[in-house]
Structures are given as structure tokens and as C-alpha cells.
Structure 1
């Protein structure tokens, strides 16, 4: 009589686990914190943007005044340079000290 191999038993598949936890009160608090963070970040950025633009303009004017002052350091300024310096000093009076 031929011998038959023993039947192999397959293990049962693992149970399916869902990753959807029930809603907890901590989730609600986390959402509130997120809203509060965004609520403070957006107005802060809205206030920062005009200030950054103003500082960029002032830096450009300050650079123009520094260039003009450096160009006229060893010689007297021409009438056009004097007018340009006066115009830039009116736009940005804090850099008037560059006139030297």
C-alpha cells in the first residue's frame, strides 16, 4: 500500500484590524489648537508683509544714498547730485546723516 503524505494545515489568516479609532475629546482639543495657531499666524503674517516691504524700500534708498555719498566723497557734488540727494533725503529722512 502506497503511503500518502500527511495533509498540511494552513494557519488561519490574521484578523483584519481597522485603524479608525473612535473620536476622542483629545482630537477635538487638537483641532482647536490648530485653529488657534493658524488664527494667530495669519494676522501676524498680514502685519509682517507691509513692514518687510517698507524695510526693503528703505534698504534700497539707503543704498542709493550710500552710493551717491561715496561718489561725491572726493569731489564736490554736482547740481544734479545735490537735487537727487535732497529728493532721497525727503523720502527717507533717517539716512540724512550720510550727507557727511
Structure 2
């Protein structure tokens, strides 16, 4: 699957009405967000059939970021059946992300 950009308006349909979803809360000016983007692309290539990955720009969509208590970026939140079940804050290397995500696949 390809990584999808979501907004405050599409978040419910794309995330809360889906199975297992990893949401990347990011902003274009964030250095660590730029570093994690290619890692997420690799992960999507490996587990995209089991877990949907979406990106939400916190500058353009402050309501959703605030709703889930995103205070720093990048923040990655795993949702299962519409509910947040795990949260990772800051840049994570691929191995650490795969280990954290593995328990949700």
C-alpha cells in the first residue's frame, strides 16, 4: 500500500474506521520527521498489507493532533479498530519501529 496523507476531515474514515493503522504526526519543517519518512516508506513496503500507514500534517490539522495529545513531532500512534493502542515519540530507527509495530500485526 502507499502511504496516505490524511486531514482533520478524513481522519475518521481513513483511521478510525479501518483495522490497524500507523499515523505519523509530522510537519514539513521538522528535521526528525524528514529523517523518519524514508524509514516509514520501507516499513510500508514490508508490512503495508497488514498495517495501513498514514501521515497527518500537524500544522494543517491541529484539531486531530490536539485530540490525541501530540506535543512533539514526529509522533507515531498505532490505532487498532479506531482506538490508539501504542505511541512512539521522536525519531526511531527501522529496527526499533519494526519491533514496536510487530506486536500489533
Which TM-score band applies after superposition, normalised by the shorter structure?
under 0.3
Q: Give the TM-score normalised by structure 2.
A: 0.21
Q: Which has the higher helix share?
A: 1
Given the two structures, how large is their TM-score scaled by the length of structure 1?
0.22
Greater radius of gyration (CA): 1
Which has more strand, going by share of residues? 2
